[in-house]
Structure 1
Amino acid sequence: MPTNRTGVTVVGIPARNEATTVAAVARAADAGLRAAFPDGGNVVVLAENGSTDGTAERFEDTELTVGKVVVRSSGIGTGKGTNVFEILDQGARLDADRVLLLDADVRSTEPEWIDRLARAVDGDEPAIAVPAYRRNRFEANTTNHLASPLLAAVYGVHVQQPIGGEFAFNRAFIERARTWARPASSYLYGIDVWLTANALRENLRVVEVPLGRKLHNSPFPKILRLPQQVLDSLFHVLLTTDEVRPPAPREPVARAAIDSASVRPDPVVVAHVTRSVGRYLGDHWSGVCDLFPSARDLQAAPWGLRVGTDEWPELLADAVAGVAHGDLETTRDHLVPLYVNRVLTFWEEIEELDGSQIDVLLDRQATETVRALGSRSIAFGRTAEHAVFHENHWVGYNDESEQPLGWSVPA
């Protein structure tokens, strides 16, 4: 049982334009807090930035038995991280013993998640709880192909879903996190990986908490912007890391991240993304190959490039080498189109596989990324500017234009 059932517990819901789901998430938080901390000082905080669909009003109209706080900020120049930092600040103001986060767009939030996450961060030493879900095989792409294998390769710890959204922190962790440098991307979608990567960098306690199935709105329309922001925050943390660390010994754990249900992303959206990526690679192919030598051997595919499980770890190792050599933004930007091609190739690879076989494939990908980076001589110790996040090379490629692909792999 948690050591303190009478302290202050804050559940924060970061949101922008999630009016259709925020009430259900708030009610699940309320029920979970009442069950886990019946005698505690419980508060649900909605932090929203620039919502235009009545998200805050829907939350305010939702009857809760615990305390309720709404924090608003402008939508200009803000993102998910802005809301998370506001929630952490509210936790500090309320002298909270623990702060939990629940994504506002999840349709499968359960009250039991509150107790599971809270239990995981009991104690006086800084601790963070991260979720372990079963997800649609066509989702969690940034998690599966970027965040998880890169963190495993650099920090020697394989966290299955380091950017899942449902987190918990104890008071000691919150105090430590308030001292970490915040790149501009950490105020955007980079926040989740910023939290997990910094925890691994400082060898803090990271606890994976099984939460069952996660159902939420499809993240695929964000597949160009979201990974760019995630990579930016991750790469900033890498630069402050002492060294690439060897894999930590661990007991074999049967991975169970792939859900039996699956829904393909909208093919119209996939086509838009494929065109944007094709235009980008057509304009930047020479520079991509300079930073990612492994890309020179990639073969053509109907969607652009065939980036298989065997090729991807070497490309990720190229990326870490590029960051270590001081090319953070260019490496970040050029990795995004390679990543999208990895995702589309992965979908073909798993066409005939069941969930357990896909889990094995993803574990092998992470293990091979550890091996690929371990064979390189990598030294960090550089610094990068934190103040501004800019799309840089991606300006003009994120629109919805119907331009034809117009690009093929050079001979």
Structure 2
Amino acid sequence: MANRNNAVTVVGIPARDEARTVGAVAEAADAGLRLAFPGGSNAVVLADNGSTDGTVDRFTETPLRARKVVARSGGEGTGKGTNVFAIIDRALELGADRVLLLDADVRSAEPEWVGRLAGAVDDERPTLAVPVYRRNRFEANTTNHLASPLLAAVFGVHLQQPIGGEFAFNRAFLERARTWPRPASAYLYGIDVWLTANALRERMRVVEVPLGRKLHNSPFPKILRLPQQVLDSLFHVVLRTDCVRPPRPGAVRSRAAVDGAAAPQDPAVVSRVSASVARYLDAHRDDVRALFPAADGLTAAPWGLRVTTEQWPHVLADALAALAGGRFEQARDHLVALYVNRVLTFWEEIDGLDDTRIDGLLDRQAELTVRAVRDRRIALGGSTGPGVFRVGHWAGFNDDSPATPLAAACPPDPSAAPLRAVNRGVA
């Protein structure tokens, strides 16, 4: 790698409709570049796909010392991954030695993040840096209950924030990443896990970088589409993996991922999501029961199904077994429904716990998932994933999906028969 101070460093900001925060993120990136690389060739790249709120104008009006670059794409059929791929392409054109990503909606970005992330990838080997920060206990749900335990179970590596957004990688990583097959979901919210899972699949150097607290817009309103896209990309990478790998020596470390502050999610959004999931499980009850034997032991809860810390790892193992058996879309989509019930159960489990005990609960969940998957002796590599990304079984149940009729915007009465049926359990 070139001299650290003289190398080309690019900070990329993937964005859509983030006019309120993109200027502050760009300023933090610029200040961090000046602090860490005062003599280097620095650039801040905004990758925007279809913003209609003036995001690009806000960025271009923000005074920066680093070079400002804007990459645009249309909004239809694109997402965060489209922006990240645009940043990678533009960074290679600029001769970047290292690239950092900062989410456009983050409100706690600090200039010091730039130096910390960049320093972690100063290596000749392909290297990915992922963040470690404390999050509101009611957030990071896809990270805590899907991405982190599944990556640990398949690749033997425990990462606290494998889809955290604030990433860094060096040129050697970029060159390798350009060769990886890109499922359609990697152009959406699947991009973060696609990067991390592929790095682990190829046994690359992955470094966790402490960044303190993260404050950003809550992703919970996207809970019926974001995890589906994450699982889709993850499942594609898993199917290209040789086998379920044992834990690496020293791979298990106590996490410190939960912030002492807590801001519950909007009850109206939670109620709407719960109603959609209840309708979904009622419609797909027989298929869920067939693919997820562990769901037979789930009992009723006010939100639908109670999925405990001890039960959830076996549900995840069922999902990987179904995936290996060629049931890609069914495993992905049904797991999303059970995942939402796991999240709501988790919130009940952590009521009254401090952050240290919550971290311990998440560590235990990951360790139990590793054990459950190992005990199943799942054989990978025997099937492939779909070539396109479809909403699939969630069409008509996910109010946020373009495939959902507008008439479905109002959730059903929680006392209606479909929800009562689900409350009796999947069986």
TM-based fold match above 0.5: yes
Partner of 1:306: 306
**Counterparts of 1:41-60 in structure 2 under 5 Å?**
41-60=41-60
Partner-residue secondary structure (3-state), 2:106: coil
**Counterparts of 1:397-408 in structure 2 under 5 Å?**
397-399=397-399, 400-405=409-414, 406-407=418-419, 408=423
Deviation at 1:351, TM superposition (A): 0.3
CA 1:193–1:251 in 2, change beyond 3 Å: closer, same or farther? closer
2:253 and 2:361 mapped to 1: Cα distance?
14
Partner of 1:364: 364
Aligned pair count?
411
Partner-residue secondary structure (3-state), 2:269: helix
Asked if the contact 1:159–1:208 (Cα under 8 Å) also holds between the matched residues in 2, the reply is yes
Map Cα deviations across residues 186-222 of structure 1 (whole Å, 9 max, x no partner): 0000000000000000000000000000000011000
Partner of 2:238: 238
CA 1:360–1:2 in 2, change beyond 3 Å: closer, same or farther? farther
Deviation at 1:377, TM superposition (A): 1.8
CA 1:45–1:395 in 2, change beyond 3 Å: closer, same or farther? same
CA 1:181–1:252 in 2, change beyond 3 Å: closer, same or farther? closer
Identify which range, 386-395 or 104-113, moves more after superposition.
386-395
The TM-score with structure 1 as length reference comes to 0.98
Map Cα deviations across residues 119-159 of structure 1 (whole Å, 9 max, x no partner): 00011110000000100000000000000000000000001
Deviation at 1:285, TM superposition (A): 1.0
The TM-score with structure 2 as length reference comes to 0.95
Deviation at 1:379, TM superposition (A): 1.1
Partner of 1:323: 323
Deviation at 1:386, TM superposition (A): 5.2
Partner of 2:404: none
**Counterparts of 1:221-232 in structure 2 under 5 Å?**
221-232=221-232
Asked if the contact 1:182–1:386 (Cα under 8 Å) also holds between the matched residues in 2, the reply is no
Deviation at 1:378, TM superposition (A): 1.0
Deviation at 1:383, TM superposition (A): 4.1
1:2 and 1:171 mapped to 2: Cα distance?
11
1:259 and 1:371 mapped to 2: Cα distance?
27
Structure 2 residue runs of 5 or longer lacking an equivalent are: 400-408
- Opposite residue 404 of structure 1, the aligned amino acid is D
**Counterparts of 1:213-292 in structure 2 under 5 Å?**
213-250=213-250, 253-292=253-292
Asked if the contact 1:157–1:247 (Cα under 8 Å) also holds between the matched residues in 2, the reply is yes
What is the root-mean-square deviation of aligned Cα atoms in Å?
1.3
2:373 and 2:49 mapped to 1: Cα distance?
38
2:114 and 2:350 mapped to 1: Cα distance?
33
Asked if the contact 1:101–1:165 (Cα under 8 Å) also holds between the matched residues in 2, the reply is yes
Partner of 1:129: 129
1:2 and 1:165 mapped to 2: Cα distance?
26
Asked if the contact 1:2–1:122 (Cα under 8 Å) also holds between the matched residues in 2, the reply is no
**Counterparts of 1:8-407 in structure 2 under 5 Å?**
8-250=8-250, 253-385=253-385, 387-399=387-399, 400-405=409-414, 406-407=418-419
Deviation at 1:253, TM superposition (A): 3.4
Asked if the contact 2:132–2:212 (Cα under 8 Å) also holds between the matched residues in 1, the reply is yes
Q: Percent identity?
A: 68
Map Cα deviations across residues 254-309 of structure 1 (whole Å, 9 max, x no partner): 42111011101111100110000000001001100111010011000000000000
- Opposite residue 171 of structure 1, the aligned amino acid is R
Deviation at 1:342, TM superposition (A): 0.2
- Opposite residue 247 of structure 1, the aligned amino acid is P
